């Protein structure tokens, strides 16, 4: 199954596609959708939407995972990040994908083992977990980390569901 991870940003939205099969992960593709700060906000959001749509169509992904917004001191930056995130969520949902959201600390913990890991640690572990990934951009590496986090959480949820369906629940 192919999973899309998205690390939203108005200027640069990282994307990463992985394939999961029998508990193994494989890198499929990654990159960044960029917009120009010289363009109006509405056009930048259209460019993000078109870029994400192209990735979904090209790679035939089945599910998407989007990093949640963290609140920072700059309200304008937080608002713009939220608009980019909203675009990523909308495009993924309109494409018929199941969409999950993960906090940045949960993504870091799933990939590195620590919720407060540095960006370079995340990038290094993504490279270890997905041999062959070029990781030329931090945004793409972060998006692949979101996809890895989703793969792990998805697998755990499936195991729990099988256990409950198989009569493993309490009476």
Of residues 61, 30, 83, 67, the one with CA closest to residue 150: 67
Do the Cβ atoms of 2 and 26 come closer than 8 Å?
no
Q: What is the pLDDT of residue 149?
A: 96
Concerning whether 63 is annotated as a catalytic residue, the answer is no
| pLDDT, average across residues 140-166 | 81
Q: What is the mean pLDDT of residues 24-38?
A: 96
Assess contact for 80 and 37: CB atoms under 8 A: no
Cβ–Cβ under 8 Å, residues 3 and 150: yes
Say whether 142 is catalytic: no
User: Among residues 19, 39, 63, 139, which one is catalytic?
Assistant: 139
Q: Which domains does the chain have, with CATH numbers?
A: 2-122 (3.30.420.10)
Mean pLDDT of 109-135: 90
Q: Mark whether 30 is an active-site residue.
A: no
From residue 95, give the alpha-carbon distance in Å to each of 6, 54, 91, 130.
Answer: 14, 11, 6, 26
**Between residues 136 and 119, the one the model is more confident about:** 119
Model pLDDT, residue 171: 43
Average pLDDT over the chain, rounded to an integer: 90
Query: Which entry of 39, 67, 101, 120 is annotated as an active-site residue?
Result: 67
- 23 vs 92, higher pLDDT: 92
């Amino acid at each position: 199954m192919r999973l899309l991870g998205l690390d939203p940003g108005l200027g640069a939205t990282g994307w990463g596609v992985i394939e999961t099969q029998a508990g193994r992960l494989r890198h499929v593709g990654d990159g960044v959708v960029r917009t120009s700060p010289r363009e109006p906000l509405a056009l930048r959001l259209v460019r993000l939407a078109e870029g994400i749509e192209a990735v979904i169509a090209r790679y035939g992904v089945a599910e998407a995972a989007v990093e949640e917004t963290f609140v920072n001191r700059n309200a304008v930056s937080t608002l713009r990040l939220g608009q980019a995130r909203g675009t990523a969520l909308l495009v993924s949902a309109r494409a018929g994908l199941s969409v999950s959201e993960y906090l940045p600390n949960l993504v870091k913990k799933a990939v590195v083992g620590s919720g407060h890991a540095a960006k370079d640690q995340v990038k290094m572990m993504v490279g270890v977990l997905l041999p062959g990934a070029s990781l030329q951009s931090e945004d793409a590496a972060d998006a692949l980390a979101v996809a890895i986090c989703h793969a792990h959480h998805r697998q755990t949820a499936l195991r729990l569901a099988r256990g409950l369906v198989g009569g493993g629940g309490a009476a």
